[in-house]
Structure 1
Amino acid sequence: MASPCTAYSIESFYHDHHGWLQGWLHRRTGCPERAADFAQESFLRLLVRPPVEKLDQPRAFLTRIATRLVIDDSRRARLEQAWLEVQTAFAEEHLHAPSAEEVNEWLDLLEWVARLVQELPDKPRRAFLMSRLDGMAQGEIAEELGVSISMVKKYMAQALLHCHKALHSPSLAARCPALP
């Protein structure tokens, strides 16, 4: 099969696999609208990535892209839920809702943390997120990433060192004024 990333073949690649991918995603998410969104985003990601010489298993390739999108969406939803829980707890503890300034400071902090994690290379970032957000064990992470447990440990050390350096950076206050 020709590269799905080239202009002459993406239309046929899309035609051949879009319906299947959307159906697969619908079974995974239980929501036809979300499945359609994830399918479209999967093909968009395929368009912007470097060309692939040959795809022996195009559906496996698309499934991997779509699975990552679903996982990212799930993480984002858990983060939003945690934020709502923090807001509720804050309001109950302080008998008032946080001020607009407090909300903006927390949002700045969350944005800074998200940028910090995005600075990591792909596998260390994914290992860190799987560990911290998904609560996955190192063995599960190793299996998901297709690496050894010792590599997962190295990825985690790399991510934690990156965070430690950022937290102790002299310019941190300028980048994230919400931090104490």
Structure 2
Amino acid sequence: MPAPHPSFDPVQQVQQLFTGHHAWLLSRLKVRLRNTAEAQDVASETFLRMVATPHPTIIAEPRAFLTTIAKRLLFSVWRRRELEHAYLEMLAQCPPELAASPEDRAVLLETLEHIAHALEGLPPQAQQTFVLSQIDGIGYLAIAEQLGISHSTVRRHMAEGFRRIALAVTRQNAGIGLPRS
């Protein structure tokens, strides 16, 4: 990693990046999310993550850098939307007498958010393995064949996914909120 320039001021760089690129990033996110409030949240989180970079250096391509961070956040937003949508579809199919109360729905959605956050830390192939198994209902051998990996790798990915979910649910039950990443 290149060393900072002798006159490099990280605070000034963040200010310049924010004033020079926030409106641009926000307009791109509004198009992708079709929701101004969500776009503002993702833009803010993008700049927060940029500030949290452990070793600040001069950023040669700020828009590419911000786009990379924002894309990762967008994938998280979209995954959460898919989970919530699937849950609400399932609820719509339940008879009214089995429907969850508003309080139960809130707890279930919070649990889904904790689970989604836990699975975000998995490598993409492990996430795909977990989704194929738990959402699509595909067996381990079929997943191994579909992804071109061994059966033991599928089992290892699944074990790590379940371990992360158990930890997330334990954190939620203990009243510990989602970590800020």
Q: Shorter-chain TM-score: what band?
A: 0.5 to 0.7
Q: Which residue of 2 aligns with 1:161?
A: 159
Kept in 2: contact 1:18–1:39 (CA 8 A) = yes
For 1:26 and 1:175, the matched residues in 2 are separated by 33
Distance apart, 1:84 and its partner CA: 0.9
Distance change >3 Å, CA 5–CA 160, structure 1 → 2: farther
Distance change >3 Å, CA 23–CA 82, structure 1 → 2: same
For 2:102 and 2:122, the matched residues in 1 are separated by 36
Alignment pair present for 1:44 and 2:48 = yes
Kept in 2: contact 1:26–1:32 (CA 8 A) = yes
Which secondary structure does the structure 1 equivalent of 2:126 belong to? helix
Amino acid at match of 2:83: L
Structure 1, unmatched stretches of 5+, are: 136-148
For 2:35 and 2:154, the matched residues in 1 are separated by 34
Q: Which residue of 1 aligns with 2:16?
A: 12
Q: Which residue of 1 aligns with 2:119?
A: 117
Q: Which deviations, in whole Å up to 9, do the C-alpha atoms of 1:29-83 show, x marking residues without a partner?
A: 3444433332222111212231332322211110011111222111111111111
Count how many residue pairs are aligned between Structure 1 and Structure 2: 154
Which secondary structure does the structure 2 equivalent of 1:50 belong to? coil
Kept in 2: contact 1:39–1:66 (CA 8 A) = yes
Distance change >3 Å, CA 13–CA 107, structure 1 → 2: closer
Amino acid at match of 2:74: V
Which secondary structure does the structure 2 equivalent of 1:55 belong to? coil
Amino acid at match of 2:119: V
Distance apart, 1:90 and its partner CA: 2.4
Amino acid at match of 1:20: W
Q: Which residue of 2 aligns with 1:28?
A: 32
For 1:97 and 1:18, the matched residues in 2 are separated by 43
Q: TM-score, normalised by structure 1?
A: 0.59
**Equivalent of residue 58 in structure 2, options 50, 54, 57:** 54
Kept in 1: contact 2:43–2:70 (CA 8 A) = yes
Q: Which residue of 2 aligns with 1:138?
A: none
Amino acid at match of 1:162: E
For 1:102 and 1:89, the matched residues in 2 are separated by 17
Q: Which residue of 2 aligns with 1:71?
A: 75
Kept in 2: contact 1:17–1:59 (CA 8 A) = yes
Kept in 2: contact 1:5–1:49 (CA 8 A) = no
Kept in 1: contact 2:46–2:69 (CA 8 A) = yes
Kept in 1: contact 2:29–2:39 (CA 8 A) = yes
Which secondary structure does the structure 2 equivalent of 1:52 belong to? coil
Structure 2, unmatched stretches of 5+, are: 137-146, 174-181
